[in-house]
Amino acid sequence: MGCASVETLVDAPLRTLACVRTDVGAGNGGQGRILLSDACVGWARTAGYVTAVADDGEIQLRSEIGAPTRYYIRRRGLDRLELTQADDGGDEYPVLFVAAVEVLERYLVGGLFADDIREDLDLPSLELPWGSADLCAGFELSEMVRGYRTLKRADGTPIAAAPDPYLSVLALVPLSHYLQWSVTDLKRSFLHPSGAPLLRHGRYSSP
């Protein structure tokens, strides 16, 4: 994959989640396709992923570079979206549940595609703080419940959930900070050698 300029790239099953409304498919009473923004789809394409949408609205993200990695985005009820990863044998494993497509996009931009794009641009790997003490102010993490950990706002509103005691923290702590930034600013951060403005001196910053 050819290296584009930074400027071009920038411009270019948890019950607790069931109570949270989502804007996905809002134009069709919540029953329509899952809609990812052009900015998110373009970022995926930059990372070497093509996007395919099935008749039922399911989205597949398939890598065209290296291993044939595939991710699927599906609706689980009106108010939840599920991101899964498929292995070479066709088995799927849950990665993330979210209550809104905007949350999913922040994860896709920062948690899924950023490392591949930085590697392609020969940028150094970013060490994102991910310990429980690094959680963004205004958020909290639940204990593991039925195999999942949930990221909540301080008022108890669930935002996202991930499996595995270790991997869930690795995903949800950075996500709590991604949610403070626009997709454009996140993209700019992951195209910056030291991760600014998301990171400053190796620690999370605020907008």
Interval 21-38: pLDDT, tens: 233 333 333 445 788 999
* pLDDT for position 32: 58
CA dist., res. 161 & res. 14, Å (int): 7
50-90 confidence digits (pLDDT tens):
999 988 889 999 998 877 789 999 998 777 999 999 987 77
Helices marked H in the chain — which ranges? 6-11, 38-46, 101-107, 114-120, 165-178, 183-190
55-64, 151-160, 186-195: segment of lowest average pLDDT: 55-64
Structure confidence at residue 179 (pLDDT): 97
Residue 112 inside a domain? The answer is yes
DSSP 145: B
Residue 181 lies in a domain: yes
Query: 23 lies in a domain?
Result: yes
pLDDT band at 159 (very low <50, low <70, confident <90, very high): very high
In a domain, 200, yes or no: no
What is the tally of structural domains in the chain? 1
Domain assignment present for residue 203? The answer is no
Mean pLDDT in residue range 193-198: 97
- Band the pLDDT of 136: cuts 50, 70, 90: very high
Q: Is residue 13 part of a domain?
A: yes
Residue 203 CA to residue 205 CA, distance in Å, equals: 6
Provide the residue range defining the domain that includes 66.
6-194
- Its sign, for the CA torsion 87, 88, 90, 91, is negative
The answer to whether residue 174 is domain-embedded is: yes
Q: pTM for this structure?
A: 0.84
The amino acid occupying position 37 is S
The reply to whether 205 falls in a domain is: no
2-11, 50-59, 186-195: which is most confident: 186-195
